[in-house]
Amino acid sequence: MIASLRWLEEFVDLPTRESGVIAAAFNSLGFEVEGVSVVAAQFGGVIVARVTAIRPHPAADRVRLVTIDLGSSSLEVVCGAWNFGVGATVAYATVGSRLTGGIEVGERDIRGVRSPGMICSERELGIGDEAGGILLLEDGLAPGTDFGTLVALPDAVFDIAITPNRPDAMSIHGLARELGAFFGSEVRPIDVAEPAASGATSAEVRIDDPAGCPRFTAREISGVTVAPSPLWMRMRLRTAGVRPVNNVVDVTNYVMLETGQPLHAFDLDRVPAETIVVRRARAGESLTTLDGVTRTLDPADLVIASPEAALGLAGIMGGGDSEVSAGTTRVLLEVAHFEPTGVLLSGKRHGLRTEAVARFERGVDPGLPPIASVRATALIARLAGGAAVGPLVDAHPAPRQAAVVQLPVREVERLLGVRLFAPEIGALLRRLGFDVAGEDPLQVTIPTYRPDVTRPADLVEEVARLHGLDNLPTTLPHGPGGGLPDWERRRRAVHATLVGAGYSEILSFDFVAPEQLARLGLPAGDRRLDPLLVRNPLNDAQAALRTTLLPGLLDGLRINVTRNLGDVALFEVGSVFLAAPGEPIPAQPHHLGFAAIGAVPGPSWQPRPSRDALDATGLIETLTAATGTPLRVEQAAQPGFHPGRSARVLLGDAVIGVIGEIHPDVAAAWDLPGRVVAGELSLAAWEDAAPAGFVVPSLLPPVVFDLAFDIAATLPVAHLVDSIRQAGGPYLENLSLFDVFQGPPLEAGRKSAAVRLTFRHPERTMVDEEMIPIRAAIVAHVGAAVGGILRGG
């Protein structure tokens, strides 16, 4: 909403004209000022002139020689504009006058003709953008009049954001009322002197849908002469961002800006019948609106219609057929009240967000139509001539009663924390136009222009606004405490572990295109290939919700590889989305995903091996150590991964994720060269292992010995380790694998795995002799369980 200070001042006397102070008042009232500009222009030496003669230039086709009457004298100037004739009233800049932008007007020679001064366009005068022709002033202005007296400048203009709950503030008068409340100044009402009327109108109104249109007023005005509006009107509208059209249409826009009530003027002679019907559109009905677009109407659209055809989209835009134009003499002025939701939805349906929609969708004051109608009738009579025919036709089947809200006095203190007494509260509310009676509770009558106020809390907000939020106390309450929940601490631990392990965090969108999932090499039937679909995606890339974090991570690797950023290790923690038929919402577990490509970390100038699946298994070991969640890796070919270099991750007996090297075909599909390490784990099931209790380490000497076994090359070493542990007895303190190799002297298909075993008794020193049976038991069990043969034994 754009509001000019001079217009506001027509309704309220402000204690200041300082635009900064007024902007601060608007802000403090909850109307955020998004910009303040000062409209000023210089007109020194510009006067009104009348064109008395025009003749061609002897040497130029595109300009004419124009004789103008300046009141006490006349002279001839050269003019390049063609939008006027003899009799036009124009603005003439005399020689020596200074225009906006510092232009000094002189006497010029144009193709051999002297031209003293110039006839000005709007742009030259700095009051508008129009430069295609000269500014035409209304007839009747006396030649020689100082042009500066015709325009009310300078003016301060506020660009104000109006929240959707405040229809009343979408008007100059409403904003003036707020400023009056803020500064404690009286606010003048809109002039509602009933205009003189004669005769009887033949116009009739029928409301078929009183829910959509609770009130409809119509007024016939005849004898109008459609012409451009006077300068002051055009300037007001332009400043408010509305394009001037003609005196009748301009008045409807002007009154809308002033009162907040949208109006529409029909050319009554172009309305097929003089009965106006307000009804829902018929199926298949169409209407060409003022913007020239022919629209197919929806049966939910409310229309203004003659008995035969729709004339306009109610509360949104009129129709082109009944538009007021140059030849119009009889006008039907529609000022109605429409229900907000219908206008909002209809406007959205047709992609129309007009000034009328912006007001009706907020809920215009149902008391306004007669006021705005009177105001507009008087202005049309003044600007376009003509007179009202008969009284106002006012169809208002079920007038709404003013609401009364009970406000307990202590409610103000309970919600705001400041103690105000009934008289103070009453005084603040009265300044905003509320009627207040009683003591406790206060009986507050809500004016019809404030449909947003229906409850005590709403009144408390009014008190807070006017009392000033800055004047409320400042207190700092504390909650009961308890710290971070376990799941949040764990998320942070996982996060810190990944960062500490060299992985950088990315955020990717939760969307996925189904074809991205298809590139993951998953078998038919895999849940991840069946994503939840977004019903109204903005584009194909956002058509579905991710079922896995891997596409985002692989994209992340590729982007970095493409940009030559070398070794990359990324992770993301976020939700994936899986169908859950019958549940209120889909399943959306939190996952940790990681992916890396390039060499292992190390000095850049030394040879470094490529990352491989061991980076993934090592990361799982680190996660277990860092979070206390006992994760296990179990080798098993995973879809989308290298069949011999992938594994499941288990927590207890539950599979919670996969790790390994991405299958070369999948890596190729993502344009990733070399080995790609990746994994994805569900964080949902994680929990901290119960603290085992503190163990004091023994200082007694251990017994240490090594064993090397000859085992099948395909046997996971973990199985050998498990079998050694099973036979190692209670005092096997530590087992570390220190050598694994294949090749001579071993036979093909065999490998050697050597372990160092540490035994320690908590209470006494063990001796070598005790190891003989333990060693024998291990060798026997390894042989039986995994077919391992002790080497060098």
Partner 1 sequence: MISAADLRTLSDTIMARLPGATTAAAVDALEAEALGPDAPVTAARRSLRDAPDAVRRELGQAVNEVTGRISVAARERRLALAAAERDTRLDEEWLDMSLPGRAPARGKAHLVSTVWDEVVDIFVALGYTVAAGPEVETAYYNFDALNTPPTHPSRLESDTLYVAHGDDPEGVLLRTHTSPVQARYMETHRPPVYMVVPGRVYRRDAIDATHTPVFHQLEGLAVDDAITFGDLKGTLEHFARTFFGSRRRVRFLPHFFPFTEPSAELHVDCFACEGSGCRVCRESGWIELLGCGMVDPNVFVAVGYDPAVVSGFAFGVGIDRLAMIRYGVPELRMFFDPDLRILRQFR
Residues 498-517 that bind partner 1 (CB under 8 A): 498-511
Please say which residue, 393 or 579, places its beta carbon nearer to partner 1.
579
Provide, rounded to whole angstroms, the least separation between the CB of residue 495 and partner 1: 7
Residue 363: count other Cβ atoms within 10 Å of its Cβ. Answer: 23
DSSP readout, 290-324? TTS-EEEPPTT-EEEE-SSSEEEETTTEEBSTT--
d(C-alpha 289, C-alpha 538), whole Å: 29
Which range of residues in 88-96, 151-159, 463-471, 776-784 is near partner 1 by CB under 8 A? 463-471
Site residues for partner 1, window 119-178 (CB under 8 A)? 163-166
CA distances from 126 to 37, 154, 187, 238, 489 (A): 14, 12, 32, 12, 64
475 is an interface residue for partner 1 by CB under 8 A: yes
Helices 456-467 and 19-29: crossing angle in degrees, nearest 10, is: 160
CA distances from 472 to 146, 418, 420, 459, 469 (A): 52, 6, 11, 16, 5
Pull the structure tokens for residue 172: 């100059």
Site residues for partner 1, window 380-409 (CB under 8 A)? none
Of 192, 196, 565, 668, which lies in the binding site for partner 1, with binding defined by CB under 8 A?
565
CA distances from 689 to 7, 26, 627, 631, 686 (A): 72, 59, 9, 10, 9
d(C-alpha 160, C-alpha 165), whole Å: 14
Count of all residues that appear for the chain in the document: 793
Of 76, 138, 424, 458, which lies in the binding site for partner 1, with binding defined by CB under 8 A?
458
Please say which residue, 36 or 152, places its beta carbon nearer to partner 1.
36
Residue 592 contacts residue 683 (beta carbons within 8 Å): yes
d(C-alpha 401, C-alpha 447), whole Å: 10
442 is an interface residue for partner 1 by CB under 8 A: no
Residue 58: count other Cβ atoms within 10 Å of its Cβ. Answer: 9
Beta-strand ranges (E) seen in 43-85 are: 46-56, 64-69, 74-79
Please say which residue, 252 or 624, places its beta carbon nearer to partner 1.
624
Pull the structure tokens for residue 364: 């215009």
607 is an interface residue for partner 1 by CB under 8 A: no
Q: Collapsing DSSP states into helix, strand and coil, what is residue 451?
A: coil
Please say which residue, 128 or 260, places its beta carbon nearer to partner 1.
260
Pull the structure tokens for residue 201: 């109108």
Q: First and final CA of the chain: distance in angstroms? A: 94
Provide, rounded to whole angstroms, the least separation between the CB of residue 624 and partner 1: 18
Site residues for partner 1, window 740-779 (CB under 8 A)? none
254 is an interface residue for partner 1 by CB under 8 A: no
Provide, rounded to whole angstroms, the least separation between the CB of residue 164 and partner 1: 6
Of 283, 326, 398, 476, which lies in the binding site for partner 1, with binding defined by CB under 8 A?
476
Q: What is the 3-state secondary structure (H, E, C) of 171-216?
A: CHHHHHHHHHHHHCCCECCCCCCCCCEECCCCCEEEECCCCCCCEE
Please say which residue, 143 or 342, places its beta carbon nearer to partner 1.
342
d(C-alpha 445, C-alpha 462), whole Å: 13
Of 388, 570, 623, 708, which lies in the binding site for partner 1, with binding defined by CB under 8 A?
570
Which range of residues in 233-241, 494-502, 663-671, 726-734 is near partner 1 by CB under 8 A? 494-502
Which range of residues in 44-52, 148-156, 265-273, 529-537 is near partner 1 by CB under 8 A? 529-537
Buried b (16+ CB within 10 A) or exposed e, 632-656: bbebeebebbbeebbbbbebeeebb
Of 106, 537, 643, 793, which lies in the binding site for partner 1, with binding defined by CB under 8 A?
537
Site residues for partner 1, window 609-638 (CB under 8 A)? none
Phi, psi torsion values for 208, nearest 5 degrees: -85, -20
Pull the structure tokens for residue 401: 């009663």
Please say which residue, 40 or 472, places its beta carbon nearer to partner 1.
472
Which range of residues in 215-223, 260-268, 393-401, 452-460 is near partner 1 by CB under 8 A? 452-460
Question: How many residues in the shown chain lie near partner 1 by CB under 8 A?
Answer: 94
For Cα atoms 531, 537, 541, give the angle at the middle one, nearest 5 degrees: 65
Of 414, 427, 440, 688, which lies in the binding site for partner 1, with binding defined by CB under 8 A?
414
Q: Where are the alpha helices (DSSP H) in 172-299?
A: 172-183, 231-239, 247-259
Of 457, 614, 636, 684, which lies in the binding site for partner 1, with binding defined by CB under 8 A?
457
Please say which residue, 322 or 560, places its beta carbon nearer to partner 1.
560
**Residue 673: burial class (beta carbons within 10 Å; 0-12, 13-18, 19+):** exposed
Site string (571-590) toward partner 1, x via CB under 8 A: x--xx-x-xx---xxx-x--
43 is an interface residue for partner 1 by CB under 8 A: no
Which range of residues in 205-213, 386-394, 472-480, 652-660 is near partner 1 by CB under 8 A? 472-480
Please report the sign of the dihedral spanned by the C-alpha atoms of residue 258, residue 259, residue 262, residue 264: negative
Residues 6+ apart with CB under 8 A from 725: 732, 735
482 is an interface residue for partner 1 by CB under 8 A: yes
Provide, rounded to whole angstroms, the least separation between the CB of residue 343 and partner 1: 10
Distance of CA 435 to the CA centre of its chain: 37
Of 112, 473, 744, 792, which lies in the binding site for partner 1, with binding defined by CB under 8 A?
473
Phi, psi torsion values for 24, nearest 5 degrees: -65, -35
Of 488, 634, 722, 747, which lies in the binding site for partner 1, with binding defined by CB under 8 A?
488
d(C-alpha 233, C-alpha 691), whole Å: 81
Of 289, 560, 624, 646, which lies in the binding site for partner 1, with binding defined by CB under 8 A?
560
Of 487, 705, 738, 741, which lies in the binding site for partner 1, with binding defined by CB under 8 A?
487
Q: What is the DSSP letter of 134?
A: P
Helix (H) or strand (E) holding 3: strand 2-4
Site residues for partner 1, window 330-359 (CB under 8 A)? 341, 344-345, 348
563 is an interface residue for partner 1 by CB under 8 A: yes
Of 131, 200, 404, 418, which lies in the binding site for partner 1, with binding defined by CB under 8 A?
418
Please say which residue, 139 or 671, places its beta carbon nearer to partner 1.
671
555 is an interface residue for partner 1 by CB under 8 A: yes
Provide, rounded to whole angstroms, the least separation between the CB of residue 651 and partner 1: 20
455 is an interface residue for partner 1 by CB under 8 A: yes
Please say which residue, 41 or 357, places its beta carbon nearer to partner 1.
357
Q: Which of 390, 356, 381, 393 is nearest to 264 (CA)?
A: 356
Please say which residue, 323 or 567, places its beta carbon nearer to partner 1.
567
Site residues for partner 1, window 280-299 (CB under 8 A)? none
Which range of residues in 93-101, 283-291, 294-302, 532-540 is near partner 1 by CB under 8 A? 532-540
Site string (58-97) toward partner 1, x via CB under 8 A: ----------------------------------------
**Which amino acid is present at 371?**
I
Please say which residue, 224 or 316, places its beta carbon nearer to partner 1.
316
Q: What is the DSSP letter of 641?
A: E
d(C-alpha 234, C-alpha 138), whole Å: 11
556 is an interface residue for partner 1 by CB under 8 A: yes
Q: What is the DSSP letter of 585?
A: S
Residues 6+ apart with CB under 8 A from 720: 709, 711, 753, 782, 786, 788
Of 93, 160, 305, 460, which lies in the binding site for partner 1, with binding defined by CB under 8 A?
460
Residue 442: count other Cβ atoms within 10 Å of its Cβ. Answer: 23
Strands 387-395 and 197-198: parallel
Provide, rounded to whole angstroms, the least separation between the CB of residue 6 and partner 1: 25
Please say which residue, 563 or 764, places its beta carbon nearer to partner 1.
563
Provide, rounded to whole angstroms, the least separation between the CB of residue 167 and partner 1: 12
Please say which residue, 306 or 575, places its beta carbon nearer to partner 1.
575
